[in-house]
Amino acid sequence: MLTDLREKSQSFLIYILFGILIIVFIFFFGPQAEGCQPGQPQSRSLSGWAAKVNGEEVSIREVEISVRRQALIQQDSADDAESLARLRRETVQQVIDQALLEQQARRMGLAIGEKALSQYIISKENPDYPLFTDREGNFIPKNYRDQLTQLLRATPEAYRRAKRREVLVNRYIRFLSQQVAVSDAELKSAYDLATRTWNIEFLKFAATDYAKTVAEPTPEDVATASKARAKDIEAYYKKNAAKYNREAEFKISRVLIRRPTDKKDTKGLAEAKKKATDALAKAKGEGADFAAVAKELSQGYYGKDGGDMGWQGKKNTSPDDFAVYSKLKAGDISPLQDTSIGFWFVKATDIKPAVKKPLADVTTEIATSLLKTEGQKAAARADAEAALNTLKSTGALAAPAAEGAVPTTSVQSTGPVRENRAVWDLFPGLGRSEVLARKLNGLNKKSPIVGELLEVGDALVVAKLKERVDPDAKKYAEAKGDLSDRMRAERSRQLFGNWQAIVFGPTSQRETFRKFSGGSMLGGLANKASIEINQEAFPVPSKTATPPGQPGR
C-alpha cells in the first residue's frame, strides 16, 4: 500500500509540475507576447506559412527555429545578407524533408502524447537540452524561457510542433531500421566469405634474376636481330621514348626571402634584399651546408625540406626560372634573383643532361637488350617448368638444382587469404593473378597443386596450397547474432543513408550527404510529393543555383 501511495504521490507531483510549466508558457509566450520577443528582427514577419508539403502547412516560426539552430551549428554561415538568405533557403528545404518523414510516420500510426512530448523536451534526448540547463546540467525553466525567446525566437507552440516532428521522424526511421531483415542464407554466406581462407606457398622465377647467369648475345646474333626485328626494335624505341629523347633536368634546392606585402614598404624591401644577399654569401661559404642554410633562412614552401624542389625541367617550371637553372653545373649556386615573389637563389644538386638519340643510333643497343631479356625469360621459364614438374611428381616445392639455377629462389607464402578479400586477384608477396583467383575454390588437401605456371608481371610462379581453413559450424553459431546486427545496420545505411545528418545536421552539407550517402528513401519521397515554398519569405539567393531536378525547392 505504501508503494502505491508513493507512486501516486509522485505522479501527482509530476502533473503539478507540468501544470506550472504550462501556466508559465502561456504567461510568457502566449499570443499576447507576439512581436515582443527580444532580438526579433522587426522587419521580418514570423507569422504565416513557410512551405506546403502535400497540402500541409509548415509555419515560418518552425523554420526560423531551425534557422537559428543552424546559425549556431555553422557559426559564420550568416555573416552577410547573401549568406543568411542561403542559410534560410537551405533550412526550409531541410524542414521539408522532416515534414515528409513526419507524414510517413503518421501514416504508420506513430504518435506522441503531450505528456511524453514535454518529457522529451526537458530530457537529455532533446539536442537542445544543453541550452536549457545550469552548469550542473539541470533543467532550469527560466533558462528554457530565455533561450526559447532570445536564442531560438520561438513560441512554445511552434517549438513543441518542431519537437513533435523531430520525435516522430526519429521513431519512424528507427522503426524502418528494425524492419530490415537478413536471411539465414545471407548470414551463412557472409560468414563463409569472411572466414574461409587459403594460404598459398609458391616459387617465383623473375627474368631479371637471371641477368648474371645468361650469356651476352654474340655480335652476329645482334646484327641478325637488328635487321630481322626492325618492327620490334621500333616499337621498343617508341615505348621508351623518354629514355632516348628528353630535355635536361636539374635537381634544384632554393632559398627564398619574400618581398614585403606592402609595395610601398621600401625599408622592408631593402631589408629583405640584404637578408637574401647575406644568405647567399653564407651558402657559398667554404664547407657550407646549403640544406641547412635553407632550413634556417628560407621563407619558401620548400624551406623545411632544405629547399629541395625536386627535379625541374621545361615542362614543370617557368621559362625564366629554367633559364637560370640551365646555366648551372652540378653543385653550382645561381646569382641572386629579384622576382615578383621575392629574392632567391638556387643550387643544382644534380643534373640529368639532355638526351637526343635517333632510332638509328640505338638500334644495336635495343637489339642487344631484346635478346638479353628474351634469354633471361627463357632461362626463368626453363627453371619454372622444372620446378612445376617436380611439384607434380613429388608434391613438394623445390627450386631446381641444375647449373645456372638462381640460388636465391626460395619458397614463399602468401599467408591466409580470405575469400572476401578486398582485391579479388591480389595475393600478398605474389602479386596479381586472375588464374590463381579462379582456381582457389578448387584447391584443397586432395588437390593442392596449381597445375600450370602463373604469369605474374614479368615473373613465372609455381604454386600449391599450403593450408585451407573452411568455416566452422560451432563458431558460426556463436558469431551469428553479432553478424546479423552488423549486416542489418549496413543494410539500413544503404537504404536510409546518413539520414540523421541530412535531416537534422548542418544544412551546408545537406546536398553532399544526399548525393553521396543519402540512401533511396528521402529522394523517393521528395520526387512523389507536392511541395511549395513561400518564395517571398524564403527566396532563392541570387548567387545560388537551384539544384537540378528540384524546381522551386
CB atoms within 10 A of CB 86: 20
pLDDT digits (tens, 9 = 90+) for 160-205: 999 999 999 999 988 888 888 899 999 999 999 999 999 999 999 9
Residue with cell 520526387: 527
pLDDT number for residue 494:
75
pLDDT digits 0-9 by tens, 312-328? 999 899 999 999 999 99
In order of 121, 132, 223, 504, the CA distances from 126 in angstroms are 6, 10, 86, 12
Closest CA to 418 of 440, 433, 434, 439: 440
Q: pLDDT category, 374, cuts 50, 70, 90? A: very high
**Residue 277, pLDDT score:** 96
The β-bridge relationship of strands 531-533 and 459-469 is unpaired
Name the phi and psi angles at 252, rounded to 5: -115, 140
The pLDDT value recorded for residue 10 is 43
Asked if 61 contacts 154 with a C-beta cutoff of 8 angstroms, the reply is: yes
Cα–Cα distance, 364 to 360 (Å, whole number): 8
Q: How many Cβ atoms are within 10 Å of 29's Cβ, its own excluded?
A: 20
Averaged pLDDT score across all residues of the chain: 85
Q: What's the pLDDT score for residue 521?
A: 67
* Nearest alpha carbon to residue 130 among 156, 155, 151: 151
The string of pLDDT tens digits covering residues 266-277 is 999 999 999 999
Tell me which range, 8-22, 200-214, 535-549, is most confidently predicted by mean pLDDT.
200-214
Sign of CA dihedral 356, 359, 361, 367: positive
- CA neighbours closer than 13 Å in the CB half-sphere of residue 398: 11
Q: Quick check: 232 and 386 in contact, CB under 8 A?
A: no
H/E segment holding residue 409: none
Among the listed ranges 54-58, 208-212, 510-514, which one has the minimum average pLDDT value? 510-514
The set of residues, in sequence order, having a beta carbon less than 8 Å from that of 214 and lying 6+ positions away, is 372, 375, 376, 379
Least confident stretch, 29-38, 134-143, 250-259, 283-292: 29-38
> In whole angstroms, what is the distance from residue 461 CA to residue 202 CA?
7
**3-state DSSP assignment of residue 350:** strand
Q: How many CB atoms lie within 10 A of CB 231?
A: 8
Q: Looking at the predicted structure, is the pLDDT value of residue 141 above 60?
A: yes
Angle formed at CA 514 by CA 508 and CA 520, multiple of 5 degrees? 160
Amino acid at 135: R
pLDDT value at residue 527:
80
Which residue did the predictor score with more confidence, 213 or 381?
Answer: 381
**pLDDT 10s digits, 488-516:** 888 887 777 777 788 888 888 887 777 77
- Residue 153: φ, ψ to 5°: 55, 50
- The average pLDDT across 452-471 equals 95
pLDDT at residue 47 in the model: 82
Residue 444's closest CA among 464, 425, 463, 429? 464
Tell me the pLDDT band of 2, cut-offs 50, 70 and 90: very low
- Between CA 509 and CA 514 the distance in angstroms is 9
Give me the mean pLDDT over the 430-453 stretch.
95
Q: What is the pLDDT of residue 400?
A: 66
How far apart CA 149 and CA 38 sit, in angstroms, is: 7
**DSSP bridge pairs for 346:** 254
d(CA 498, CA 517): 6
For residue 277, what is its C-alpha cell?
644577399
Superfamily of segment(s) 34-180+495-533: Porin chaperone SurA, peptide-binding domain (1.10.4030.10)
In the CATH scheme, what is the code of domain 248-353? 3.10.50.40
- pLDDT bin (cut points 50, 70, 90) of residue 310 is very high
Q: Is the pLDDT of residue 402 over 70?
A: no
| pLDDT at residue 401, rounded to an integer | 58
